[in-house]
Structure 1
Amino acid sequence: MGYYLTFNYNNLTYGLPAENIQEIFFLPQLASIPEAPKDIIGAVNVRGEIIPVMDLNLRFGYEEIDYHVNDNVVILNHEKLKLGIIANEVHEVSLIDERNITSELPYDVTLTELKQEKFISGVVQKEDQLILLLDPQKLLRYTESQELSLDLDLFEIEEESLANPENDTLTEGEKEVIRKTVFFPQASEYERKLLQKRANNLRESTKLKDFTGLKPISIFTLNQEFFGIELSLVQEFIKFKKYTPIPCTPKFILGNLNLRGEIITLIDIREEFNLQSSGLKEENQAVIVNVDGVVVGIIIDAVNDIYMMNPNDLKLEENTDNESVNQEYLQGVIPYQDKMLGIIDLNQVILGGNLLVDEAV
């Protein structure tokens, strides 16, 4: 399983590994980069760091489209290389089963026939949406190979000229030069001021709104109580109807499930958290986890969210909103939607507690 940030641009949906996302912000004024390729549309000053910005539409050879003030810039980060990418709409981080990633498209086209092929690691069909998964390392290496001139001198253009390229004090030749070098030339005066204000805020801001150091967790419910587990331990989420009960086993072991030829033991951890076991329904959900090689399915009510947790927010000595919940099997709690969310310690639950799944079955 992998977690990806998905976004739309020019009616296509792209995905990027969440671990390579540094931050996301609304489109600011960009400074032109001398002798840059057409697809590198400018640079942004983010707290003193000059980052080039790419238009995927131009990189892949499609027709140029207009920009809008509601567009976003997604900043990629890998081994100190950084690149901004224009996006029309950014979605939440999604969990994608990497076994479903393929090079085959649902219509008679292969990846090698796509203009994006060089920078795409694969495609995945998620519900009714086709997602093109970009290779961040290739995008960053390509940008590095351009040997762009990135320094603060790019931003020393007079703001008056930026705000009004039709300034009457300029000659027609000077106006034409400005039209060609100013980003988003069709922007209105109001939009230009908004873009410049955003650029100023990015340059002067000190608080980094990013994913750096954050840990993705999956949030689900048990008896209407919210819990979270580290996404790195999650193999997949499933729905099932049939399973095989196992006689003479502890109460928490519900039985075995055949998942594509692999036998998975299903367990119910509600009682470990002082929650009443409600039994199974006609259709049930489970999260398949792998804890140090022990693979089990944990019965859950529903999957609610994929959330990027700041480990510094984890509190070890506070209760969840439900004080009856057993704290022994929690790593701690974090603030989530005006509540305190318990993060389950799966190592303790599966291997160190009363369950000992690998020995009980």
Structure 2
Amino acid sequence: MQIMYIIFKLNNQFFGVEVNQVISIERLQPLTEVPGTAHFIKGIMPLRGEITPILDLKERLSMKKTTTTDENRILIINLEDIQIGLIVDEATGVIDIDSTSIEPPFEMISGVDNRYIKGIAKVDKKLLILLDLTKVTDQNENIQLHESSQSIN
């Protein structure tokens, strides 16, 4: 079975998330900071009538902090009924991956904790780390995200 993935880069590594998990891909915009939130929650922004919390995905995955460029994008996802944005270095495209070519994650991949990884796929001589977006935040962080999205409304 073929599954469509959105491919993006973090620190020159390729990652993928299932296309059905992503609402849209947006350009990076100015954010309003929300005091007292986790270090990887960069702020909030209005998007299509909703206040959307924005996370730096690299910081969340314990990678180095994102340097802002024109290539940065925000993947807008819906996580437990909260619309959130994930800052990535660059969105590079959409591809089909055969589910039989997805392997379980190795013990530790490029410093990314296995709990965030759904699997690994090799596509066009590139190793793709496939993320499980449902595990990007824990329950306490989901509460913070919900509160920050409600703080303006």
TM-score scaled to structure 1, two decimals? Answer: 0.37
Q: Once the 2 structures are TM-superposed, how far is the Cα of residue 323 of structure 1 from its aligned partner?
A: 3.3
Does residue 5 of structure 2 align to residue 217 of structure 1? yes
* Equivalent pair of 1:319/1:333 in contact (CA under 8 Å): no
Q: Distance in 2 between matches of 1:346 and 1:328?
A: 10
Q: Distance in 1 between matches of 2:141 and 2:74?
A: 16
- 2:17 alignment counterpart: 229
Cα 1:282–1:221 change in 2 (3 A) is: closer
- 2:83 alignment counterpart: 295
Alignment RMSD (CA, Å) = 2.2
Q: What percent identity do the matched residue pairs reach?
A: 26
Q: Distance in 2 between matches of 1:310 and 1:256?
A: 36
Q: Once the 2 structures are TM-superposed, how far is the Cα of residue 217 of structure 1 from its aligned partner?
A: 0.7
Please show how residues 120-269 of structure 1 align to structure 2 within 5 Å. Answer: 213-269=1-57
Q: Once the 2 structures are TM-superposed, how far is the Cα of residue 244 of structure 1 from its aligned partner?
A: 0.6
CA deviations on 1:279-301 (whole Å, 9 max, x unpaired) are: 54578420101134221000011
* Equivalent pair of 2:40/2:60 in contact (CA under 8 Å): no
Does residue 111 of structure 2 align to residue 327 of structure 1? no
Does residue 65 of structure 2 align to residue 277 of structure 1? yes
Q: Distance in 2 between matches of 1:283 and 1:340?
A: 21
Partner AA of 1:228 in structure 2 = G
Q: Once the 2 structures are TM-superposed, how far is the Cα of residue 332 of structure 1 from its aligned partner?
A: 1.0
Q: Distance in 1 between matches of 2:111 and 2:66?
A: 17
Structure 1 portions without partners, runs of 5+: 1-212
Cα 1:307–1:331 change in 2 (3 A) is: same
CA deviations on 1:118-166 (whole Å, 9 max, x unpaired) are: xxxxxxxxxxxxxxxxxxxxxxxxxxxxxxxxxxxxxxxxxxxxxxxxx
Cα 1:280–1:357 change in 2 (3 A) is: farther
Q: Which one of the candidate residues 114, 126, 135 is aligned to 1:348? A: 135
- Equivalent position SS for 1:245: coil
- 1:154 alignment counterpart: none
Cα 1:254–1:216 change in 2 (3 A) is: same
Partner AA of 1:316 in structure 2 = P
Q: Once the 2 structures are TM-superposed, how far is the Cα of residue 319 of structure 1 from its aligned partner?
A: 6.3
* Equivalent pair of 1:266/1:298 in contact (CA under 8 Å): yes
- Equivalent position SS for 1:246: coil
CA deviations on 1:324-345 (whole Å, 9 max, x unpaired) are: 3322210010112213211001
* Equivalent pair of 2:53/2:85 in contact (CA under 8 Å): yes
- Equivalent position SS for 2:135: helix
Q: Distance in 2 between matches of 1:302 and 1:317?
A: 23
TM-score scaled to structure 2, two decimals? Answer: 0.83
Partner AA of 1:342 in structure 2 = I
Higher helix share: 1
Q: Distance in 1 between matches of 2:69 and 2:37?
A: 21
Q: Once the 2 structures are TM-superposed, how far is the Cα of residue 278 of structure 1 from its aligned partner?
A: 2.5
- Equivalent position SS for 1:328: helix
* Equivalent pair of 1:241/1:282 in contact (CA under 8 Å): no
Partner AA of 2:132 in structure 1 = D
User: What is the total number of aligned residue pairs between the two structures?
Assistant: 145
Larger radius of gyration: 1
